[in-house]
Amino acid sequence: MEPALDARRHALLEAMGIDVWVRRDAVVAPAADAAPAGMPASGGDAVAELSALAREVAACTACPLAGTRTQTVFGVGAATARCLVIGEAPGAEEDRRGEPFVGRAGQLLNAMLAAIGLARESVYIANILKCQPPNNRDPQPAEVAACSSFLRRQIALVAPRVILAVGRVAAQNLLGVETPIGRMRGQDYVYAGTGIPVVVTYHPAYLLRSPGEKRKAWTDLQRAKRLLDAAGDA
């Protein structure tokens, strides 16, 4: 793990009030490459921590969606991604396959990312909800609340340079506002408690229905690209 990323991830975890656990074995019998006793040993292992979080999500029964899902849809991508894409909730195809954005909207999302030079594999993709709402209805506030700590921890572990919120549900819930998405686009936002900029754009499913809006989405994507470029390589 690059030291700069490691430090940023720890700072984010702390800023967000998330406990950073020290592995008992790292304290009792430090391996040659383990963190010094008393120092967090977890930061260098975002992959393992994301896997542990995914197992926690898979066992979640905090809301009634646990009773209707086929499986949870945790997230996919590079644990050290510089760009984190956040959507709304799994649809039928995602519920079946266990991966976010794998249907038609996902194909458009991939193309949108490619337009600014980002391969799907190089970003991290997650949703506000980890379970499909029946009939793809909007997430209910209680469902969002039950799922929110999972997303918060995902964000802290990935420690991205930019968050791309796709669609009204993602943008409003992530930022805790009720502003219409058309007025959120083009505004400067940061994810609470962190300095991570959030770029708001339309959901690819909406763009499939309203292709005339793709030009605006392209403007938003260029904004995300500028922020990524400005953040440098780390």
| Closest by Cα among 177, 200, 8 to 87 | 200
The answer to whether 94 contacts ligand URA (rule: CB under 6 A) is yes
CB-wise, 91 or 160, nearer to ligand URA?
A: 91
Q: Pick the stretch among 20-28, 56-64, 97-105, 114-122 that binds ligand URA (CB under 6 A).
A: 97-105
| Closest by Cα among 46, 62, 158, 54 to 100 | 54
The answer to whether 110 contacts ligand URA (rule: CB under 6 A) is no
Burial class (CB in 10 A: 0-12, 13-18, 19+), 224: buried
The answer to whether 132 contacts ligand URA (rule: CB under 6 A) is no
DSSP secondary structure code for residue 222 in this structure: H
- Distance of closest approach, residue 79 Cβ to ligand URA, in angstroms: 18
Distance CA 112, CA 121 (A): 13
- Distance of closest approach, residue 231 Cβ to ligand URA, in angstroms: 25
The answer to whether 127 contacts ligand URA (rule: CB under 6 A) is yes
| Residue 15 one-letter amino acid | A
Binds ligand URA (CB under 6 A): choice among 40, 43, 77, 100: 100
DSSP-derived 3-state class of residue 84: strand
Q: Which residues bind ligand URA (CB under 6 A)?
A: 87-91, 94, 100-101, 105, 127, 205
